[in-house]
Structure 1
Amino acid sequence: MDSYQIREQFLDYFAQRDHQILPSFSLIPQHDPTLLLIGAGMAPLKPYFTGEKKPPHPRITTCQKCLRTPDIERVGYTGRHNTFFEMLGNFSFGDYFKEQAIIWSWELVTEVFRIPKDRLWISIFQEDEEAFKIWSQEIGISGERIVRLGDKDNFWEIGHGPCGPCSEIYYDLGPETGCDKPGCTVGCDCDRYLEVWNLVFTQFCREPDGRLTPLQQTNIDTGAGLERLATVIQGGDSIYDTDLIYPIYEHFAGLASVGKKRQVIPLRIVTEHSRGIVFLVADGVLPSNEGRGYVLRRLLRRAERFGQLAGMTGNFLTEVVPLIVQLMGDAYPVLKQRQKHIQKIVEVEEKRFQETLSQGVEILEEYMARLRQEKQRTMPGEWAFKLYDTYGFPLELTREILSEQGIEVEEESFARSLAAQQQRARGARAGLEAANSIYQESVGLTTLFNGYHKLKSKSRILALLIDGKRCPEANKPGTKVELFLDRTPFYAEGGGQIGDTGTIIGKRGQLTVNDTFTTPSGQIVHRGILQQGVLAEGDLVTAQVEEERRRAIRRSHTATHLLHRALKEVLGEHANQAGSLVSPDQLRFDFTHFTPLSVEQIYKVEERINSKIRENLEVNISYTTLQQAQSAGAEALFGEKYDPESVRMASIGEYSRELCEGTHTSATGEIGLFRFLSEEGIGAGLRRFEALTGEKAYRYTVDQTTRLKHLSQVLRTPPERLEEKVQEMLNEQRRLEKFNQEVKQKLASYQAEALLLKAQEVNGVKVISEAVEADSMDHLLMFTDEIKGRLNRAVVVLGAVEDGKVLLVGAVTPDLVKLGLSAKKIITAVARQVGGGGGGRPDLAQAGGKNPAALSAALKSVSSLVRECR
């Protein structure tokens, strides 16, 4: 049975038992800032478990793509750990519970998948007598094959809230895959007992004081890793033997060096990470140094490093993309749709890291040279960690390169440095959780947004927060307050559109709203300052949005849709939205593209948008099903999850259709004017376009026209000839710069002859160390090159003072470099005397300093420095 059939049979099994099949959600979590990526089948369904949202059906089944990295360092070293995986699951929300979940899981595993019963073991929570009774009496499992485990392994909880015991089904891969320890059994950390299915029985609530109280509604949350199920069903010993992964492993094995093909661990790591890389990029993640972009970068760089360790060359990660799309594209069509985009992003990042890696090799070579000079055979762990942290070198790669030179790594200090970094990361995560916890009391409060067609609404205050704590009222003017209303015309920040501002007025008090946003649980928060009087929970108030600001935001949002369509027409369909910020009369739009836009392309985009504004196209908002919207050609953003039964579609004539929850103009003519402001690269394959609309666009145009007229007057040239005039001036400037350079070169030649006469002989080396007149470091380098070119066995150090600062250049002729003299060491010692520092190569170095008064004495010390070196 292949993996595609396993996936389909699992979903069909539960569909036949009245479960609704939901498609996989994106790896990018929606409306949950506490999660970086989806790492479990239940994660996208969390609002259904907490009661924040009603599930579309009390029984659900999914095959959810997941990615998590806590065990990344174990990937490749075991046969079961992975970062990317597919999690099969069945879920119940207040419907069936423990007994039915256990019966169905056993039936599916043993009767549908035909996994031998004598190879299966069961784990339960040590105090869960109900689960033991079901497994032993209902299913007929003998007591010795049911293993009781503690809180760490078999009780699922995350802080306060819903939690419960769990039960797992394990498959015995056989003693040959185990650790050979006498006590090896279920729960051992070796590869012998493979967990294939985890059944979580959510039946308790963990109270803040630590007590467990029964939940009114019990839930079922199960997860079976497709890769692990395939391992068992297809008779493999590890996930790398499955039809999901083995073809990729074989591909990379064919690229490895002949002598390194047996290096299983590097090949496994490259194979496993390559799948996660492809799926992350397909879902809209781009490499960066923070957030989920850093997760992608880390996976790609780790795969690149271990690929090189196995002897692979070229862009081997880019080249494997078509194979992964071929293997997974039928189950996940987005891979086929975005294949070219995925390949381009991976290629850009792969080449960039190869350059970084070569820099790391240079640093490592400097470390080795230093160790040889100091006659040391052990590299400090801190050095190895710097290579790991800054240049992406795995410890294994550093260890291998050093071993060829007979050098070891001091690994204890490396481990300490790594542990300190991980502790900092844990602290950052804890801070994020604490920041979001203040809104937990608001869970259950719902606000009706009625602001699409009105800017003023009668509302009631549901809750009030001051300093993150719920209070019955706010009564001190100047107090920062967060309000929850039963209904509101205020648009909460989302979809790139910033939140509304305005006022909330009651009979006894008034609040100025400075921002509107949603909590991690989806509630709308009005953040502002109490201006006067008292506002309390239960008060009837009037919520009033700032009208002109909202009107300006609508202009920018509709213009953003026009920009998206225009970019696709001018650049190509690959120009997909990757982020946006819609603010009053100004917008920022991030999109996928690989080169800077030309002046002509920017003009075409701007002209196309203004043409559509002049046409005054009607903007129509409609609600339809996701399928109907996509059939109509509506753009759906990658990473967004839409309700298949009801989506909001914004149509601009026949020109643009997008799924959008934001606010818009009724026609494009209301935008008034669209003006380009800037365009720049912000990451690999990612560009940013900024523009103005409405009043700001008009003011910008007036300002630019005024500047143009003023420039025309200054240059005494008609506006239509300004470009020609500036080009003439630039040509003249270049001619004068060339002439000036030639004059400087001649002067340097004359001065060099004078300086040659001042050369001193120090242990057979000619030394010139003088102060000269130079207006820049480049000028000083010119002097140095002129002198150095006329000498053999020479050391030249020149200094100058410019703008109250010391400039220094040092040079050593090639014959002396071979004998061990270093311009870098000499210039560093001289620079220290003038209160500065510098660096460079053995043959040429430069430095700066803060103390011009010490320059003369510093230059006089050069002879003694050369004498010490010789």
Structure 2
Amino acid sequence: MEKLGLNQLRSMFQEFYKGKDHYARQSFSLVPEKDKSLLIINSGMAPLKPYFAGLETPPSKRMTTCQKCIRTGDIENVGYTARHGTFFEMLGSFSFGDYFKEESITWGWEFITQVLKMPEDRLWASVYEEDQQAYDIWKNKIGMPEERIVPLGKDDNFWEIGTGPCGPCSEIYFDRGEKYGCDNPDCKPGCDCDRYVEFWNHVFTQFNRDEAGNYTPLAHPNIDTGMGLERLACIMQDVDSIFDVDTIQYILNAIVTISGVKYERGAVKSDVSIRIITDHIRSVTFMIADGILPSNEGRGYVLRRLLRRAARHGKLLGIQGPFLADLSKKVIEVSGVAYPELEERSTYIHKILSVEEEKFSATIDQGSAIINDYIKDLNDSGNTVLSGEKVFKLYDTYGFPLELTQEILEEHGCSADVEGFNSNMLHQKEQARAARKSETDAGWSDDAALFMDQKATLFTGYDQLVDTGIVQGLFWEKQAQSSAKEGDTVILVLDKTPFYAESGGQASDIGMMTNETCTLDVLSVSKVRDVFTHKVKILSGEVKSGDSIQAMVSVSNRNQTARNHTATHILHKALKEVLGSHVEQAGSNVTADGLRFDFTHFEGISKDQLKKIEEIVNDRINHFLDVNTEIMSAEEAIKSGATALFGEKYGEKVRVVSVGEFSTELCGGTHIKNSGQIGAFKIISENGVAAGVRRIEAITGMGLYKKIEEEESLIHAVAETLKTNVLGLQNRAASVTEELKAYKKELEEFKKKSMGSGLEAMIAEAREANGVKLITKAFQDYDINDLRSLSDEIKSKYKSIIIVFATETSGKVTFMVSVSDDLLDKGYHAGNMIKTIAAAAGGGGGGKADMAQAGAKDPSKILAAFDVAASLIG
């Protein structure tokens, strides 16, 4: 066999299936779209589940992908074995109700024997033991000797997840030779030894499994094949480890150069560290490119865990200073052509890695010293389990993910009290387990079943806001209905509609439907596959299935929504110009009332930057730029410079929206014809919503007009309250502010005089025990600093005195304890006393021996706290 490179193999696979009329789709994002069952995409078919389940219509009945994937279930083994990794690429070919077993197997055989030129005598196949059809294809169509066709049971060769579509599968194996085998004379696929490598699985989805365990044949069976690219490269390059594959070895060699540590290809500690860094830098580079940012939960936690694990192993190799950001460039060099998003976001990837590694670097040395002390203490005490409290401290103070602490402990024969750690996590207690979340695909959704028999709806709303359609279906409480009457709220399906369905962050249209017998209020519109479902309320009359009805979109609602949507496109480009090319859309919500735009950015935005962004958007509006839409292939669109959004699925043909030459994006939403129609743009707020994600809320057009009206009304109300007119408001406000300052100053002076005048009374009323005088007094709305000053004045005049003050403000209490210097030598300690005193009122605190303060929640317990104080000296 020719030793083919990994990038070459990927290209050959995709070109082969394109030659079989498959639509070659760029890899989906690692972030699952509308799939709560997955944290991160972990298989080639995972992003295609909506197509297999009938929830969406695929761009073609035949597809091929090379999907980037991440699995963390075996992370403990990464680096310690030659085959485990968190990041991998999955080659796949798929049929959605088109071809079936014979084509799948014969084309697969053609690719590996005629294109890759694998020797036929080293290839084996396994089939499900009850799948005679697949067995016959291998025997009669392919001509594989029967002794190399291995029937296996359900556990090995039948794919199913709970209920829903399922079916048998056939796996293709490569015989690595006797030297990798075992002593079993009947050694063949299915054996646990390393001789036979399974590298391509062909799944034949031909049944539907119900809750009773019955298998019903599908009317349109599907094909789902998956072949690990790295595993295929191992075979073609005749290497034993994924870390010896050309592209991965390129990254590994860079680590060797940076560290100055030789790679021995063995199980020595340095080899383990080199492999861990090699694998993890691939994962984190791809994750950040897809918009995932380090955080303490979800997929962000997975990223942080991998990144910090790699950084620690860099320390173990003796690498000084940050190195991961520069190392990511090696990943981009070898994978950037296949995954252009890596090159497009290289600056952003470098910045995120630099910031995160710098954060961890600030604490890792200190944290490592702490955990080493903990391990020494465990060894000295004969214990092997580190308490949950200490594990949590390492997490909370030093940024050590739980799994990193566990790994370090295990290296020294110890373990962590995970249960105790979780109890310390409080609201974050599920966080550590998120990284280990089961990566098994969830069962198939049945949400689409209600509309499965409905024909696709023709959307005419790009060109017209009024159209006539035929009622194809009526549904209420998940049941099909023949009619609906006045007062009912139902789901209605038309054969064609001008109503835009909620999609891509844009709210649906609203409006009316009417004919001779009824009037309907359209409340919202959704889309299941290509079926538009209108939620309507029957205002009058009766509507029946089969009726012809006129659908009328609310013009004002559509226009204002379109203004806001086009404004998001201009805003997106303005953000890139002001903040940097790393900015990517991370979500949006566009309605008639305003727009919300989430985007990736790793720090707060200054007022000057916000002003500049706003100026750019309004400048583009005032240039009256034409807004044009064009239909083209996804490949053409990307080549033309159009921006594609994270996580969006694009078919073979896409809609490209251009605002002059300023902005070009792939978008299926509705837009105005000219930027001038937006009117004006105003940012209402900007804030962070997640780690590395910021949010801007803004308004345009009538939204801005309404905002001005609201603020004018408020200004007039304030002016009336201050008994002036709008023009005199600023002067009047300044005058009132000065008056308040004067009154406040007088009040403070009065408080001080009253405190001073009552000083002798306080001394006279002091309790006395064991030669110590105790002053206790409660105040209302007094500043704690004033009370400190008063206590200092008392201590300057009297000895052997303890002062306990309490001040109540807005339903909360602040206690203060002050001890004269001569009592300190007798063991009195303000910090210790205040803990007990404040506890009596539901509080806590501490401080120094001579002065301490604490907060408390219950003002009604102040006198009880004073009694506790008395007991401490009595």
Q: How does 1:79-158 map to 2 (within 5 A)?
A: 79-93=82-96, 96-106=99-109, 108-109=111-112, 112-113=115-116, 121-135=124-138, 146-158=149-161
Structure 1 residues 858 and 63: alpha-carbon distance in aligned structure 2, compared to 1, 3 A threshold = same
1:814-850 per-residue CA deviation (whole Å, 9 max, x = no partner) reads: 9x99x99998765443332223345789999753224
1:182 and 1:382 map into 2 onto residues whose CA distance is 54
Using the TM superposition, name which of 47-56 and 782-791 deviates more.
Answer: 782-791
Amino acid at match of 1:610: N
Q: 2:669 maps to which residue?
A: 662
Q: 1:283 maps to which residue?
A: 290
1:254 and 1:711 map into 2 onto residues whose CA distance is 69
Per the TM alignment, residue 276 of structure 1 is displaced from its structure 2 partner at its CA by 2.3
Are residue 527 (structure 1) and residue 531 (structure 2) matched?
Answer: no
Per the TM alignment, residue 166 of structure 1 is displaced from its structure 2 partner at its CA by 0.9
Q: 1:623 maps to which residue?
A: 631
Question: Is the CA contact (8 Å cut-off) linking 2:24 and 2:64 kept in structure 1?
Answer: yes
1:466-487 per-residue CA deviation (whole Å, 9 max, x = no partner) reads: 23x1222464655442222211
Using the TM superposition, name which of 492-501 and 391-400 deviates more.
Answer: 391-400
Are residue 262 (structure 1) and residue 262 (structure 2) matched?
Answer: no
SS of corresponding position for 1:493 = coil
1:790 and 1:683 map into 2 onto residues whose CA distance is 55
Using the TM superposition, name which of 401-410 and 151-160 deviates more.
Answer: 401-410
Question: Is the CA contact (8 Å cut-off) linking 1:493 and 1:516 kept in structure 2?
Answer: yes
What are the ranges of 5 or more consecutive residues in structure 2 without an aligned counterpart? none
Q: 2:586 maps to which residue?
A: 578
2:222 and 2:242 map into 1 onto residues whose CA distance is 30
Q: 2:229 maps to which residue?
A: 226
Are residue 500 (structure 1) and residue 509 (structure 2) matched?
Answer: yes
Per the TM alignment, residue 288 of structure 1 is displaced from its structure 2 partner at its CA by 5.4
What are the ranges of 5 or more consecutive residues in structure 1 without an aligned counterpart? none
Per the TM alignment, residue 282 of structure 1 is displaced from its structure 2 partner at its CA by 1.8
Q: 2:43 maps to which residue?
A: 40
Question: Is the CA contact (8 Å cut-off) linking 2:17 and 2:93 kept in structure 1?
Answer: yes
**TM-score scaled to structure 2, two decimals?**
0.79
Q: 2:217 maps to which residue?
A: 214
SS of corresponding position for 1:26 = coil
SS of corresponding position for 1:152 = helix
1:722-756 per-residue CA deviation (whole Å, 9 max, x = no partner) reads: 99999999999999999999999999999999999
2:551 and 2:494 map into 1 onto residues whose CA distance is 9
Question: Is the CA contact (8 Å cut-off) linking 2:100 and 2:222 kept in structure 1?
Answer: yes
Question: Is the CA contact (8 Å cut-off) linking 2:73 and 2:436 kept in structure 1?
Answer: no
Q: Cα RMSD between the aligned structures? A: 5.8
SS of corresponding position for 2:246 = coil
Question: Is the CA contact (8 Å cut-off) linking 1:120 and 1:169 kept in structure 2?
Answer: yes
SS of corresponding position for 2:247 = coil
Structure 1 residues 18 and 494: alpha-carbon distance in aligned structure 2, compared to 1, 3 A threshold = closer
Structure 1 residues 134 and 615: alpha-carbon distance in aligned structure 2, compared to 1, 3 A threshold = closer
SS of corresponding position for 1:662 = coil
2:111 and 2:169 map into 1 onto residues whose CA distance is 18
2:610 and 2:544 map into 1 onto residues whose CA distance is 52
Question: Is the CA contact (8 Å cut-off) linking 1:309 and 1:397 kept in structure 2?
Answer: no
Q: 1:647 maps to which residue?
A: 654
Q: How many residues align?
A: 864
SS of corresponding position for 1:437 = coil
1:173 and 1:788 map into 2 onto residues whose CA distance is 89
Q: 1:466 maps to which residue?
A: 476
Amino acid at match of 2:523: N
Using the TM superposition, name which of 851-860 and 324-333 deviates more.
Answer: 851-860
Per the TM alignment, residue 225 of structure 1 is displaced from its structure 2 partner at its CA by 0.6
2:772 and 2:260 map into 1 onto residues whose CA distance is 48
SS of corresponding position for 1:635 = coil
Question: Is the CA contact (8 Å cut-off) linking 1:769 and 1:860 kept in structure 2?
Answer: no
Are residue 700 (structure 1) and residue 710 (structure 2) matched?
Answer: no
Q: How does 1:771-790 map to 2 (within 5 A)?
A: 775-776=782-783
1:130 and 1:81 map into 2 onto residues whose CA distance is 34
Structure 1 residues 106 and 648: alpha-carbon distance in aligned structure 2, compared to 1, 3 A threshold = closer
SS of corresponding position for 1:24 = coil
SS of corresponding position for 1:245 = helix
SS of corresponding position for 1:471 = strand
Per the TM alignment, residue 489 of structure 1 is displaced from its structure 2 partner at its CA by 1.4
Structure 1 residues 836 and 28: alpha-carbon distance in aligned structure 2, compared to 1, 3 A threshold = closer
1:630-677 per-residue CA deviation (whole Å, 9 max, x = no partner) reads: 565543334434344x33233334443333222222333332332221
1:261 and 1:636 map into 2 onto residues whose CA distance is 45
Structure 1 residues 339 and 760: alpha-carbon distance in aligned structure 2, compared to 1, 3 A threshold = farther
- Identity percentage of aligned residues: 45
2:615 and 2:436 map into 1 onto residues whose CA distance is 50
**TM-score scaled to structure 1, two decimals?**
0.79
Q: 1:566 maps to which residue?
A: 574
Amino acid at match of 2:235: V
1:813 and 1:120 map into 2 onto residues whose CA distance is 90
1:253-291 per-residue CA deviation (whole Å, 9 max, x = no partner) reads: 666798997155555444323222222322334455666
Question: Is the CA contact (8 Å cut-off) linking 2:135 and 2:149 kept in structure 1?
Answer: yes
Are residue 835 (structure 1) and residue 842 (structure 2) matched?
Answer: yes
Q: 2:452 maps to which residue?
A: 442
Q: 2:500 maps to which residue?
A: 491
Amino acid at match of 2:502: E
Amino acid at match of 1:489: P
1:356 and 1:741 map into 2 onto residues whose CA distance is 46
Are residue 345 (structure 1) and residue 348 (structure 2) matched?
Answer: no
Are residue 321 (structure 1) and residue 328 (structure 2) matched?
Answer: yes
SS of corresponding position for 2:706 = helix
Per the TM alignment, residue 526 of structure 1 is displaced from its structure 2 partner at its CA by 1.6
1:805 and 1:138 map into 2 onto residues whose CA distance is 84
Structure 1 residues 432 and 823: alpha-carbon distance in aligned structure 2, compared to 1, 3 A threshold = farther
* Higher RCO (C-alpha 8 Å, min separation 6): 2
Question: Is the CA contact (8 Å cut-off) linking 1:305 and 1:392 kept in structure 2?
Answer: no
Per the TM alignment, residue 497 of structure 1 is displaced from its structure 2 partner at its CA by 1.3
Question: Is the CA contact (8 Å cut-off) linking 2:38 and 2:439 kept in structure 1?
Answer: no
Structure 1 residues 491 and 725: alpha-carbon distance in aligned structure 2, compared to 1, 3 A threshold = same
1:757 and 1:328 map into 2 onto residues whose CA distance is 84
Per the TM alignment, residue 539 of structure 1 is displaced from its structure 2 partner at its CA by 3.2
Using the TM superposition, name which of 576-585 and 333-342 deviates more.
Answer: 576-585
Structure 1 residues 853 and 425: alpha-carbon distance in aligned structure 2, compared to 1, 3 A threshold = same
SS of corresponding position for 1:459 = strand
1:812 and 1:186 map into 2 onto residues whose CA distance is 82
Q: 1:552 maps to which residue?
A: 560
Q: 1:240 maps to which residue?
A: 243
Structure 1 residues 253 and 175: alpha-carbon distance in aligned structure 2, compared to 1, 3 A threshold = farther
2:384 and 2:219 map into 1 onto residues whose CA distance is 65
1:416 and 1:67 map into 2 onto residues whose CA distance is 29
Per the TM alignment, residue 315 of structure 1 is displaced from its structure 2 partner at its CA by 4.0
1:795 and 1:827 map into 2 onto residues whose CA distance is 12
Structure 1 residues 105 and 548: alpha-carbon distance in aligned structure 2, compared to 1, 3 A threshold = closer
Question: Is the CA contact (8 Å cut-off) linking 2:830 and 2:848 kept in structure 1?
Answer: yes
Using the TM superposition, name which of 546-555 and 729-738 deviates more.
Answer: 729-738
Per the TM alignment, residue 499 of structure 1 is displaced from its structure 2 partner at its CA by 0.9
1:207 and 1:429 map into 2 onto residues whose CA distance is 23
Structure 1 residues 371 and 449: alpha-carbon distance in aligned structure 2, compared to 1, 3 A threshold = same
Q: 1:514 pairs with 518, 523, 526, which one?
A: 523
Question: Is the CA contact (8 Å cut-off) linking 1:478 and 1:531 kept in structure 2?
Answer: yes
Q: 2:465 maps to which residue?
A: 455
Per the TM alignment, residue 512 of structure 1 is displaced from its structure 2 partner at its CA by 2.6
